[in-house]
Amino acid sequence: MQMATPMAEALNRYLDLSTLELKATAQNMANVDTPGYQTTGFDFAAEMSRSLDSLNQQGGSGAGSAPAPQLGRVGGLLERPDGNNVSMDREGLQLAKAQMQFKLGTQLLKGQFSSVMSAIHMDSK
């Protein structure tokens, strides 16, 4: 028996994307000294929109899987002589943003589950 609401499913996908953004940022930071490494990332808003569109096409059931995010090279960054273009300043900002997104998502999901629990226990009051 599945108890997920459409909002809970959307928040689940939001958390998945936030986690992926944290992983991509950590990978970039870990490769700051790797010659030739190119920064990778994705457009969070665009990927969330694609994920929500996919969810709406499924009728909010969450039965299908979310589309895989389009990770790719981040353009417009200064490249060092060794070919690496990782900017620790950019990655630090990305990390902070992804952490705030994840915290927001967990708080919203917690609120969703609290609402469901309140509805379940309403009959016992």
40 bridge partner residues: 73
Q: What is the pLDDT of residue 120?
A: 75
pLDDT tens-digit map of 76-124 = 999 999 999 999 999 999 999 999 999 999 999 888 888 777 777 776 6
Per-residue pLDDT tens over the stretch 13-28: 999 999 999 999 999 9
pTM for the complete prediction?
Answer: 0.80
Other C-beta atoms lying within 10 Å of the C-beta of residue 98: 21
Which residues have CB under 8 Å from 72's CB, separation 6+? Answer: 40, 41, 42
pLDDT at 63: 54
pLDDT digits (tens, 9 = 90+) for 54-68: 888 876 555 556 778
How large is the average pLDDT for residues 24-38?
97
Return the pLDDT at 57: 83
Note whether 40 and 28 are within 8 A (CB). Answer: yes
What was the pLDDT predicted at 18?
94
